[in-house]
Structure 1
Protein backbone atom coordinates (compact mmCIF):
# COMPACT_ATOMS: atom_id res chain seq x y z
CA UNK A 1 0.00 0.00 0.00
CA UNK A 2 1.42 3.41 -0.95
CA UNK A 3 0.50 7.08 -1.45
CA UNK A 4 -2.88 6.56 0.23
CA UNK A 5 -4.98 9.52 1.28
CA UNK A 6 -8.11 8.40 3.10
CA UNK A 7 -10.40 9.95 5.67
CA UNK A 8 -13.68 9.19 7.41
CA UNK A 9 -16.03 11.94 8.50
CA UNK A 10 -18.55 11.79 11.33
CA UNK A 11 -21.88 10.17 10.47
CA UNK A 12 -21.03 8.69 7.07
CA UNK A 13 -20.87 5.25 5.51
CA UNK A 14 -17.82 4.71 3.32
CA UNK A 15 -17.54 1.68 1.03
CA UNK A 16 -14.06 0.61 -0.04
CA UNK A 17 -14.16 -1.31 -3.33
CA UNK A 18 -11.55 -2.84 -5.61
CA UNK A 19 -10.29 -6.13 -6.96
CA UNK A 20 -8.48 -8.83 -5.02
CA UNK A 21 -5.09 -7.59 -3.87
CA UNK A 22 -6.00 -3.92 -4.28
CA UNK A 23 -5.14 -3.18 -0.65
CA UNK A 24 -8.60 -2.86 0.92
CA UNK A 25 -8.00 -5.06 3.97
CA UNK A 26 -4.54 -3.59 4.52
CA UNK A 27 -5.95 -0.07 4.53
CA UNK A 28 -8.75 -1.05 6.92
CA UNK A 29 -6.27 -2.61 9.35
CA UNK A 30 -4.50 0.73 9.62
CA UNK A 31 -7.65 2.50 10.80
CA UNK A 32 -7.57 0.97 14.30
CA UNK A 33 -3.75 0.60 14.36
CA UNK A 34 -3.74 -3.15 13.80
CA UNK A 35 -1.10 -1.98 11.33
CA UNK A 36 0.86 1.26 11.63
CA UNK A 37 2.28 2.91 8.48
CA UNK A 38 6.02 2.78 7.86
CA UNK A 39 5.77 6.23 6.30
CA UNK A 40 3.03 8.84 6.63
CA UNK A 41 0.55 9.67 9.38
CA UNK A 42 -2.50 8.08 10.94
CA UNK A 43 -4.66 10.50 12.92
CA UNK A 44 -7.75 9.41 14.86
CA UNK A 45 -10.02 12.08 16.30
CA UNK A 46 -7.16 14.59 16.24
CA UNK A 47 -4.62 12.27 17.88
CA UNK A 48 -1.57 11.14 15.86
CA UNK A 49 -1.26 7.37 16.25
CA UNK A 50 2.05 5.75 17.12
CA UNK A 51 3.12 2.68 19.09
CA UNK A 52 2.38 4.66 22.25
CA UNK A 53 -1.13 5.77 21.23
CA UNK A 54 -2.51 2.62 19.59
CA UNK A 55 -4.99 2.23 22.45
CA UNK A 56 -6.71 5.45 21.43
CA UNK A 57 -7.23 4.18 17.88
CA UNK A 58 -8.65 0.90 19.15
CA UNK A 59 -11.03 2.71 21.49
CA UNK A 60 -12.36 5.03 18.80
CA UNK A 61 -12.36 2.55 15.89
CA UNK A 62 -13.98 -0.86 16.30
CA UNK A 63 -12.96 -3.57 13.82
CA UNK A 64 -15.10 -6.52 12.70
CA UNK A 65 -12.87 -8.95 10.83
CA UNK A 66 -13.92 -10.91 7.75
CA UNK A 67 -13.37 -14.19 9.60
CA UNK A 68 -15.73 -13.78 12.53
CA UNK A 69 -14.23 -16.80 14.32
CA UNK A 70 -11.06 -14.80 15.01
CA UNK A 71 -13.07 -12.52 17.32
CA UNK A 72 -15.20 -15.08 19.16
CA UNK A 73 -13.24 -16.33 22.17
CA UNK A 74 -15.70 -17.02 25.01
CA UNK A 75 -17.93 -20.01 25.86
CA UNK A 76 -21.22 -18.14 25.30
CA UNK A 77 -22.30 -15.21 23.16
CA UNK A 78 -22.97 -13.01 26.20
CA UNK A 79 -19.55 -13.81 27.65
CA UNK A 80 -17.98 -12.94 24.32
CA UNK A 81 -19.61 -9.51 24.17
CA UNK A 82 -18.62 -8.97 27.83
CA UNK A 83 -14.98 -9.81 27.11
CA UNK A 84 -13.90 -6.33 25.98
CA UNK A 85 -15.80 -4.60 28.77
CA UNK A 86 -14.11 -6.74 31.40
CA UNK A 87 -10.72 -5.96 29.89
CA UNK A 88 -11.58 -2.27 30.27
CA UNK A 89 -12.54 -2.74 33.92
CA UNK A 90 -16.27 -2.06 33.55
CA UNK A 91 -18.10 -3.30 36.70
CA UNK A 92 -20.18 -6.48 36.47
CA UNK A 93 -23.78 -5.25 36.41
CA UNK A 94 -22.96 -2.29 34.18
CA UNK A 95 -21.03 -4.56 31.84
CA UNK A 96 -23.92 -7.03 31.53
CA UNK A 97 -26.39 -4.23 30.87
CA UNK A 98 -24.22 -2.77 28.11
CA UNK A 99 -23.57 -6.21 26.60
CA UNK A 100 -27.28 -6.99 26.41
CA UNK A 101 -27.97 -3.55 24.90
CA UNK A 102 -25.32 -4.18 22.23
CA UNK A 103 -26.84 -7.56 21.37
CA UNK A 104 -30.28 -5.94 21.16
CA UNK A 105 -28.89 -3.28 18.79
CA UNK A 106 -27.93 -5.99 16.29
CA UNK A 107 -31.12 -7.98 16.95
CA UNK A 108 -29.19 -10.87 18.52
CA UNK A 109 -30.55 -10.93 22.07
CA UNK A 110 -31.91 -14.42 21.47
CA UNK A 111 -28.38 -15.73 20.97
CA UNK A 112 -26.87 -14.69 24.31
CA UNK A 113 -26.68 -18.20 25.80
CA UNK A 114 -25.60 -19.89 22.57
CA UNK A 115 -22.11 -21.30 21.99
CA UNK A 116 -20.45 -19.07 19.37
CA UNK A 117 -18.85 -22.01 17.57
CA UNK A 118 -22.28 -23.34 16.59
CA UNK A 119 -23.70 -20.10 15.20
CA UNK A 120 -24.27 -19.53 11.49
CA UNK A 121 -21.93 -17.23 9.57
CA UNK A 122 -24.41 -14.37 9.69
CA UNK A 123 -25.04 -14.82 13.41
CA UNK A 124 -21.29 -14.83 14.11
CA UNK A 125 -20.94 -11.61 12.13
CA UNK A 126 -23.68 -9.99 14.25
CA UNK A 127 -22.10 -11.14 17.51
CA UNK A 128 -18.73 -9.79 16.38
CA UNK A 129 -20.45 -6.50 15.60
CA UNK A 130 -22.08 -6.43 19.05
CA UNK A 131 -18.67 -7.07 20.62
CA UNK A 132 -17.38 -3.95 18.88
CA UNK A 133 -20.42 -1.75 19.53
CA UNK A 134 -20.39 -2.48 23.26
CA UNK A 135 -17.16 -0.44 23.53
CA UNK A 136 -18.96 2.59 22.04
CA UNK A 137 -16.56 3.44 19.19
CA UNK A 138 -16.93 6.48 16.94
CA UNK A 139 -16.27 4.40 13.83
CA UNK A 140 -17.02 0.76 13.01
CA UNK A 141 -14.89 -0.94 10.35
CA UNK A 142 -16.11 -4.11 8.64
CA UNK A 143 -13.94 -6.17 6.31
CA UNK A 144 -16.18 -7.87 3.70
CA UNK A 145 -19.23 -8.07 6.01
CA UNK A 146 -21.28 -10.12 3.52
CA UNK A 147 -18.55 -12.62 2.58
CA UNK A 148 -19.82 -16.19 2.60
CA UNK A 149 -23.38 -15.28 3.59
CA UNK A 150 -26.54 -16.39 1.82
CA UNK A 151 -28.98 -13.68 0.64
CA UNK A 152 -31.18 -13.86 3.75
CA UNK A 153 -28.28 -13.45 6.17
CA UNK A 154 -26.69 -10.81 3.94
CA UNK A 155 -29.92 -8.83 4.17
CA UNK A 156 -29.89 -9.22 7.97
CA UNK A 157 -26.30 -7.97 8.31
CA UNK A 158 -26.93 -5.08 5.90
CA UNK A 159 -29.99 -4.06 7.91
CA UNK A 160 -27.95 -3.99 11.12
CA UNK A 161 -25.25 -1.87 9.44
CA UNK A 162 -27.89 0.69 8.48
CA UNK A 163 -29.24 0.64 12.03
CA UNK A 164 -25.91 1.40 13.68
CA UNK A 165 -25.33 4.22 11.22
CA UNK A 166 -28.70 5.66 12.24
CA UNK A 167 -27.36 5.67 15.81
CA UNK A 168 -24.73 8.20 14.68
CA UNK A 169 -21.76 5.85 14.26
CA UNK A 170 -19.62 6.17 11.15
CA UNK A 171 -19.13 2.95 9.18
CA UNK A 172 -16.29 1.93 6.87
CA UNK A 173 -16.62 -1.34 4.99
CA UNK A 174 -14.86 -3.17 2.22
CA UNK A 175 -16.91 -5.18 -0.24
CA UNK A 176 -16.84 -6.94 -3.59
CA UNK A 177 -20.62 -6.50 -3.84
CA UNK A 178 -21.15 -3.18 -5.63
CA UNK A 179 -24.95 -3.54 -5.43
CA UNK A 180 -24.56 -3.57 -1.64
CA UNK A 181 -22.16 -0.61 -1.75
CA UNK A 182 -24.67 1.36 -3.83
CA UNK A 183 -27.42 0.61 -1.29
CA UNK A 184 -25.61 1.57 1.92
CA UNK A 185 -22.74 3.97 1.14
CA UNK A 186 -22.70 7.76 1.25
CA UNK A 187 -19.24 7.68 -0.32
CA UNK A 188 -17.37 5.07 -2.36
CA UNK A 189 -13.55 4.85 -2.45
CA UNK A 190 -12.00 2.82 -5.25
CA UNK A 191 -8.67 1.06 -4.70
CA UNK A 192 -6.25 -0.37 -7.25
CA UNK A 193 -2.60 -1.36 -7.01
CA UNK A 194 -2.33 -0.47 -3.35
CA UNK A 195 -3.73 3.05 -3.43
CA UNK A 196 -7.01 4.96 -3.57
CA UNK A 197 -7.51 5.89 -7.23
CA UNK A 198 -10.79 7.78 -6.84
CA UNK A 199 -13.77 8.46 -4.62
CA UNK A 200 -17.12 10.19 -4.67
CA UNK A 201 -20.80 9.53 -4.20
CA UNK A 202 -22.17 6.26 -5.58
CA UNK A 203 -23.67 8.18 -8.51
CA UNK A 204 -20.32 9.75 -9.33
CA UNK A 205 -18.24 6.59 -8.98
CA UNK A 206 -20.55 4.00 -10.54
CA UNK A 207 -21.04 6.04 -13.72
CA UNK A 208 -17.29 6.70 -14.11
CA UNK A 209 -16.37 3.99 -16.61
CA UNK A 210 -12.67 4.90 -16.71
CA UNK A 211 -12.35 4.72 -12.92
CA UNK A 212 -14.12 1.37 -12.69
CA UNK A 213 -12.03 -0.03 -15.53
CA UNK A 214 -8.83 1.05 -13.75
CA UNK A 215 -9.91 -1.02 -10.75
CA UNK A 216 -11.20 -3.92 -12.90
CA UNK A 217 -14.76 -3.43 -11.61
CA UNK A 218 -18.16 -3.62 -13.27
CA UNK A 219 -20.95 -1.20 -12.28
CA UNK A 220 -23.85 -2.33 -10.08
CA UNK A 221 -26.79 -4.15 -11.64
CA UNK A 222 -29.05 -1.11 -11.45
CA UNK A 223 -26.56 1.01 -13.37
CA UNK A 224 -26.31 -1.57 -16.17
CA UNK A 225 -30.12 -1.88 -16.37
CA UNK A 226 -30.56 1.91 -16.37
CA UNK A 227 -28.14 2.33 -19.24
CA UNK A 228 -29.75 -0.41 -21.31
CA UNK A 229 -33.13 1.21 -20.65
CA UNK A 230 -31.90 4.71 -21.46
CA UNK A 231 -32.43 5.97 -17.92
CA UNK A 232 -28.90 6.73 -16.81
CA UNK A 233 -28.06 9.90 -18.75
CA UNK A 234 -29.30 12.44 -16.20
CA UNK A 235 -30.88 10.73 -13.17
CA UNK A 236 -28.06 8.20 -12.72
CA UNK A 237 -29.91 5.57 -10.64
CA UNK A 238 -27.63 3.26 -8.67
CA UNK A 239 -30.07 1.01 -6.81
CA UNK A 240 -33.04 -1.11 -7.77
CA UNK A 241 -35.28 1.30 -5.87
CA UNK A 242 -33.90 4.20 -7.92
CA UNK A 243 -34.73 2.41 -11.18
CA UNK A 244 -38.23 1.50 -10.03
CA UNK A 245 -38.88 5.11 -8.98
CA UNK A 246 -37.85 6.36 -12.41
CA UNK A 247 -39.97 3.80 -14.23
CA UNK A 248 -43.07 4.62 -12.18
CA UNK A 249 -42.76 8.39 -12.00
CA UNK A 250 -45.79 10.37 -13.24
CA UNK A 251 -45.76 11.09 -16.94
CA UNK A 252 -43.64 8.07 -17.91
CA UNK A 253 -45.88 6.02 -20.15
CA UNK A 254 -43.44 4.36 -22.52
CA UNK A 255 -42.55 0.73 -22.08
CA UNK A 256 -38.91 0.06 -21.19
CA UNK A 257 -37.35 -3.30 -21.77
CA UNK A 258 -34.01 -4.23 -20.25
CA UNK A 259 -32.05 -7.41 -20.93
CA UNK A 260 -31.52 -9.97 -18.14
CA UNK A 261 -28.49 -9.20 -16.03
CA UNK A 262 -26.79 -12.53 -16.67
CA UNK A 263 -26.90 -12.09 -20.45
CA UNK A 264 -28.48 -15.50 -20.91
CA UNK A 265 -31.63 -14.32 -22.66
CA UNK A 266 -33.80 -15.73 -19.87
CA UNK A 267 -36.26 -13.73 -17.74
Structure 2
Protein backbone atom coordinates (compact mmCIF):
# COMPACT_ATOMS: atom_id res chain seq x y z
CA UNK A 1 0.00 0.00 0.00
CA UNK A 2 1.38 3.41 -0.96
CA UNK A 3 2.02 5.97 1.75
CA UNK A 4 -0.57 8.78 1.74
CA UNK A 5 0.78 12.13 0.63
CA UNK A 6 0.98 14.89 3.23
CA UNK A 7 -1.50 17.72 2.67
CA UNK A 8 -0.42 20.31 0.14
CA UNK A 9 -0.15 23.61 2.02
CA UNK A 10 -2.04 26.68 0.88
CA UNK A 11 0.16 29.26 -0.85
CA UNK A 12 -0.09 32.78 -2.23
CA UNK A 13 0.43 31.58 -5.82
CA UNK A 14 0.85 28.32 -7.70
CA UNK A 15 2.41 27.52 -11.09
CA UNK A 16 2.61 24.43 -13.31
CA UNK A 17 6.12 23.96 -14.61
CA UNK A 18 8.56 21.49 -16.08
CA UNK A 19 11.44 20.89 -13.66
CA UNK A 20 14.46 20.20 -15.89
CA UNK A 21 16.17 16.87 -15.13
CA UNK A 22 19.87 16.24 -14.77
CA UNK A 23 22.30 17.41 -16.04
CA UNK A 24 20.36 20.55 -17.04
CA UNK A 25 19.19 20.96 -13.44
CA UNK A 26 22.63 21.17 -11.86
CA UNK A 27 24.07 23.45 -14.54
CA UNK A 28 21.01 25.70 -14.65
CA UNK A 29 20.62 25.91 -10.89
CA UNK A 30 24.26 26.80 -10.33
CA UNK A 31 23.98 29.36 -13.11
CA UNK A 32 20.89 30.99 -11.56
CA UNK A 33 22.21 30.77 -8.00
CA UNK A 34 19.24 29.21 -6.18
CA UNK A 35 17.89 25.68 -5.88
CA UNK A 36 14.15 25.63 -6.61
CA UNK A 37 13.75 22.40 -4.66
CA UNK A 38 15.37 23.40 -1.38
CA UNK A 39 14.87 27.15 -1.76
CA UNK A 40 18.47 27.72 -0.70
CA UNK A 41 21.10 29.81 -2.40
CA UNK A 42 23.82 27.85 -4.16
CA UNK A 43 27.14 27.74 -2.35
CA UNK A 44 29.26 30.71 -3.41
CA UNK A 45 32.33 28.62 -4.18
CA UNK A 46 30.35 26.50 -6.66
CA UNK A 47 29.12 29.59 -8.47
CA UNK A 48 32.58 31.12 -8.39
CA UNK A 49 33.96 28.01 -10.11
CA UNK A 50 31.18 28.15 -12.69
CA UNK A 51 31.84 31.84 -13.34
CA UNK A 52 35.56 31.11 -13.69
CA UNK A 53 34.86 28.30 -16.16
CA UNK A 54 32.56 30.64 -18.09
CA UNK A 55 35.29 33.33 -18.09
CA UNK A 56 33.14 35.94 -16.37
CA UNK A 57 33.13 37.46 -12.89
CA UNK A 58 30.55 36.47 -10.29
CA UNK A 59 28.93 39.94 -9.98
CA UNK A 60 28.22 39.84 -13.72
CA UNK A 61 26.64 36.39 -13.44
CA UNK A 62 24.57 37.56 -10.45
CA UNK A 63 23.31 40.56 -12.39
CA UNK A 64 22.41 38.52 -15.47
CA UNK A 65 20.42 35.99 -13.44
CA UNK A 66 18.74 38.18 -10.81
CA UNK A 67 15.27 38.18 -12.42
CA UNK A 68 14.85 34.42 -13.09
CA UNK A 69 16.35 33.49 -9.71
CA UNK A 70 13.03 34.32 -8.00
CA UNK A 71 11.19 31.64 -9.97
CA UNK A 72 13.86 28.94 -9.99
CA UNK A 73 14.93 26.82 -12.95
CA UNK A 74 11.81 25.80 -14.87
CA UNK A 75 9.81 25.87 -18.09
CA UNK A 76 6.28 27.25 -17.86
CA UNK A 77 3.18 25.21 -18.67
CA UNK A 78 0.69 27.34 -16.70
CA UNK A 79 2.06 30.60 -15.30
CA UNK A 80 1.66 31.68 -11.65
CA UNK A 81 -1.90 32.11 -10.45
CA UNK A 82 -3.81 32.63 -7.23
CA UNK A 83 -6.51 30.14 -6.30
CA UNK A 84 -10.03 31.09 -7.27
CA UNK A 85 -12.74 31.38 -4.63
CA UNK A 86 -13.98 28.03 -3.33
CA UNK A 87 -10.92 26.24 -4.73
CA UNK A 88 -8.41 24.57 -2.42
CA UNK A 89 -4.86 23.29 -2.55
CA UNK A 90 -6.21 19.79 -1.87
CA UNK A 91 -8.49 19.95 -4.91
CA UNK A 92 -5.62 21.22 -7.08
CA UNK A 93 -3.41 18.39 -5.84
CA UNK A 94 -6.04 15.77 -6.63
CA UNK A 95 -6.67 17.15 -10.11
CA UNK A 96 -2.94 17.22 -10.87
CA UNK A 97 -2.63 13.57 -9.89
CA UNK A 98 -5.52 12.67 -12.19
CA UNK A 99 -4.23 14.82 -15.05
CA UNK A 100 -0.63 13.58 -14.93
CA UNK A 101 -1.63 9.92 -14.91
CA UNK A 102 -3.33 10.47 -18.29
CA UNK A 103 -0.25 11.92 -20.02
CA UNK A 104 2.48 10.14 -21.95
CA UNK A 105 6.25 10.68 -21.75
CA UNK A 106 8.16 12.12 -24.71
CA UNK A 107 11.54 13.77 -25.28
CA UNK A 108 12.52 17.19 -26.57
CA UNK A 109 15.80 18.60 -27.87
CA UNK A 110 16.57 21.94 -26.19
CA UNK A 111 19.18 24.37 -27.48
CA UNK A 112 20.40 27.63 -25.98
CA UNK A 113 19.07 30.71 -27.81
CA UNK A 114 17.84 34.25 -27.10
CA UNK A 115 14.09 34.86 -26.74
CA UNK A 116 12.45 38.29 -26.36
CA UNK A 117 15.66 39.77 -24.97
CA UNK A 118 16.68 37.03 -22.53
CA UNK A 119 18.65 33.79 -22.80
CA UNK A 120 16.89 30.43 -22.57
CA UNK A 121 17.00 26.78 -23.42
CA UNK A 122 14.46 26.46 -26.25
CA UNK A 123 13.23 23.77 -28.61
CA UNK A 124 15.54 22.92 -31.47
CA UNK A 125 14.09 24.11 -34.78
CA UNK A 126 12.12 21.27 -36.31
CA UNK A 127 11.93 19.27 -33.05
CA UNK A 128 9.43 16.46 -33.80
CA UNK A 129 8.07 16.68 -30.24
CA UNK A 130 6.90 20.27 -30.69
CA UNK A 131 3.26 19.27 -31.19
CA UNK A 132 3.27 16.97 -28.14
CA UNK A 133 4.77 19.72 -26.01
CA UNK A 134 2.20 22.25 -27.21
CA UNK A 135 -0.65 19.84 -26.48
CA UNK A 136 0.63 19.35 -22.94
CA UNK A 137 1.05 23.08 -22.31
CA UNK A 138 -2.35 23.84 -23.85
CA UNK A 139 -4.01 21.21 -21.65
CA UNK A 140 -2.38 22.64 -18.51
CA UNK A 141 -3.67 26.13 -19.32
CA UNK A 142 -7.17 24.99 -20.22
CA UNK A 143 -7.86 22.19 -17.72
CA UNK A 144 -6.62 24.08 -14.66
CA UNK A 145 -8.17 27.43 -15.47
CA UNK A 146 -11.04 26.79 -13.06
CA UNK A 147 -8.44 27.04 -10.27
CA UNK A 148 -7.20 30.47 -11.42
CA UNK A 149 -8.36 33.68 -9.79
CA UNK A 150 -8.86 36.40 -12.41
CA UNK A 151 -5.72 38.51 -12.61
CA UNK A 152 -6.01 42.01 -11.08
CA UNK A 153 -5.95 45.07 -13.33
CA UNK A 154 -2.45 46.04 -12.17
CA UNK A 155 -1.03 42.72 -13.33
CA UNK A 156 -2.75 42.99 -16.71
CA UNK A 157 -1.37 46.52 -17.10
CA UNK A 158 2.14 45.29 -16.31
CA UNK A 159 1.85 42.57 -18.96
CA UNK A 160 0.67 45.11 -21.54
CA UNK A 161 3.86 47.13 -21.12
CA UNK A 162 5.61 44.52 -23.28
CA UNK A 163 3.56 45.65 -26.30
CA UNK A 164 1.20 42.78 -27.06
CA UNK A 165 -0.17 41.57 -30.37
CA UNK A 166 -3.93 41.19 -30.83
CA UNK A 167 -3.67 37.46 -30.14
CA UNK A 168 -1.58 38.02 -27.02
CA UNK A 169 -4.04 40.63 -25.74
CA UNK A 170 -6.90 38.17 -26.28
CA UNK A 171 -5.07 35.46 -24.33
CA UNK A 172 -4.22 37.90 -21.55
CA UNK A 173 -7.89 38.81 -21.09
CA UNK A 174 -9.17 35.24 -21.37
CA UNK A 175 -6.41 33.25 -19.66
CA UNK A 176 -4.44 35.79 -17.62
CA UNK A 177 -1.23 35.36 -19.64
CA UNK A 178 -0.35 36.47 -23.19
CA UNK A 179 1.94 33.59 -24.18
CA UNK A 180 -0.39 30.58 -24.41
CA UNK A 181 -1.78 28.37 -27.19
CA UNK A 182 -0.70 29.80 -30.57
CA UNK A 183 1.66 32.30 -28.88
CA UNK A 184 3.27 29.73 -26.54
CA UNK A 185 7.03 29.30 -26.85
CA UNK A 186 8.74 26.65 -24.74
CA UNK A 187 11.68 28.08 -22.81
CA UNK A 188 13.77 27.54 -19.69
CA UNK A 189 14.79 31.06 -18.66
CA UNK A 190 18.48 31.59 -17.93
CA UNK A 191 18.85 35.39 -17.71
CA UNK A 192 16.81 38.52 -17.31
CA UNK A 193 16.40 40.91 -20.23
CA UNK A 194 19.78 41.97 -21.58
CA UNK A 195 21.09 44.16 -24.35
CA UNK A 196 22.32 42.46 -27.52
CA UNK A 197 25.99 42.52 -26.53
CA UNK A 198 25.29 40.95 -23.13
CA UNK A 199 22.96 38.37 -24.67
CA UNK A 200 25.79 37.25 -26.92
CA UNK A 201 28.22 37.31 -23.99
CA UNK A 202 25.91 35.31 -21.70
CA UNK A 203 25.34 32.64 -24.34
CA UNK A 204 29.06 32.36 -24.96
CA UNK A 205 29.70 32.18 -21.21
CA UNK A 206 27.21 29.38 -20.60
CA UNK A 207 28.48 27.41 -23.59
CA UNK A 208 32.04 27.92 -22.30
CA UNK A 209 31.17 26.60 -18.82
CA UNK A 210 32.10 23.11 -19.98
CA UNK A 211 29.05 20.94 -19.26
CA UNK A 212 28.24 18.59 -22.14
CA UNK A 213 24.47 18.21 -22.26
CA UNK A 214 22.61 15.29 -23.84
CA UNK A 215 20.64 15.89 -27.00
CA UNK A 216 17.29 14.71 -25.58
CA UNK A 217 15.47 15.90 -22.45
CA UNK A 218 12.61 13.72 -21.16
CA UNK A 219 9.25 15.34 -20.46
CA UNK A 220 7.65 12.96 -17.97
CA UNK A 221 5.92 15.14 -15.38
CA UNK A 222 4.21 18.36 -14.42
CA UNK A 223 5.75 20.10 -11.40
CA UNK A 224 3.76 22.26 -9.01
CA UNK A 225 5.70 25.28 -7.77
CA UNK A 226 4.40 27.43 -4.93
CA UNK A 227 5.02 30.98 -3.72
CA UNK A 228 4.16 31.20 -0.01
CA UNK A 229 3.92 35.00 0.18
CA UNK A 230 3.95 37.92 -2.28
CA UNK A 231 7.47 38.53 -3.61
CA UNK A 232 8.79 35.33 -1.96
CA UNK A 233 10.81 32.93 -4.14
CA UNK A 234 9.00 30.04 -5.82
CA UNK A 235 9.91 26.51 -4.77
CA UNK A 236 9.02 23.11 -6.20
CA UNK A 237 6.36 21.48 -4.03
CA UNK A 238 5.49 18.31 -5.93
CA UNK A 239 6.28 16.51 -9.15
CA UNK A 240 3.37 14.62 -10.74
CA UNK A 241 4.90 11.98 -12.97
CA UNK A 242 3.12 10.54 -15.96
CA UNK A 243 3.51 7.00 -14.59
CA UNK A 244 1.29 7.94 -11.64
CA UNK A 245 4.01 8.57 -9.05
CA UNK A 246 4.05 11.80 -7.07
CA UNK A 247 7.33 13.11 -5.65
CA UNK A 248 7.00 15.43 -2.68
CA UNK A 249 10.71 16.29 -2.95
CA UNK A 250 11.26 17.11 -6.60
CA UNK A 251 14.99 16.53 -6.88
CA UNK A 252 17.96 15.68 -4.75
CA UNK A 253 19.99 18.82 -4.15
CA UNK A 254 22.82 17.80 -6.46
CA UNK A 255 23.36 21.38 -7.52
CA UNK A 256 24.64 22.15 -4.01
CA UNK A 257 26.82 19.08 -3.50
TM-score where L is the length of structure 1 = 0.24
Compare relative contact order (CA 8 Å, sep 6+) and give the higher one, 1 or 2.
2
More strand by share: 2
Q: Max radius of gyration: which structure?
A: 1
TM-score where L is the length of structure 2 = 0.25
